[in-house]
Amino acid sequence: MKTILITGGAGFIGSHVVRLFVNKYPEYNIVNLDALTYAGNLENLKDIDTKPNYTFVKGDINDGVFVNNLFDKYQFDGVIHLAAESHVDRSISDPMSFIMTNIVGTVNLLNSARHIWKDSFEGHRFYHISTDEVYGSLGKTGFFYEIYL
């Protein structure tokens, strides 16, 4: 049975992704990791919180030890990383929280995935889905492209 980590899964978009995966893939274990900051709300997930393939974990991706322990415990096959600071007004009043979550938190997840998956990345996926606050702006036209390493 595959185990998928979804970060930021109690937010508006994340809760829809979590619900989709829990309902569409009952053979997968879905672990929802959210710090429950201003954007997270478990009420968004009341309809699935008792499903046998769903687990909620409250935690912060900025805590590297916590993230490593979570990966050790669940041995994730895949990650859908949605957790991000993306509220523009907040980025002006508290830019360090953006740096911590969007950069340090993402690096913690990548390092934990790299450690668990070691040199065997076959069958494992790490999807990072975010906003222009993370990726930067494109200007008037253009597309973002995925890069496979």
> Domain segments of the chain: what residues?
3-135
Assess contact for 22 and 51: CB atoms under 8 A.
yes
**pTM for this one?**
0.87
Q: Which of 115, 99, 105, 133 is nearest to 35 (CA)?
A: 105
Ordered alpha helix ranges (H), the chain: 12-24, 64-74, 88-93, 95-99, 106-117, 132-135
May I ask the CATH class of domain 3-135? alpha beta
In the chain (149 residues long), the average pLDDT of successive 10-residue segments reads 96 95 98 91 95 98 97 97 72 71 88 92 86 69 63
Point out which residues pair with 5 in neighbouring strands. 31, 79
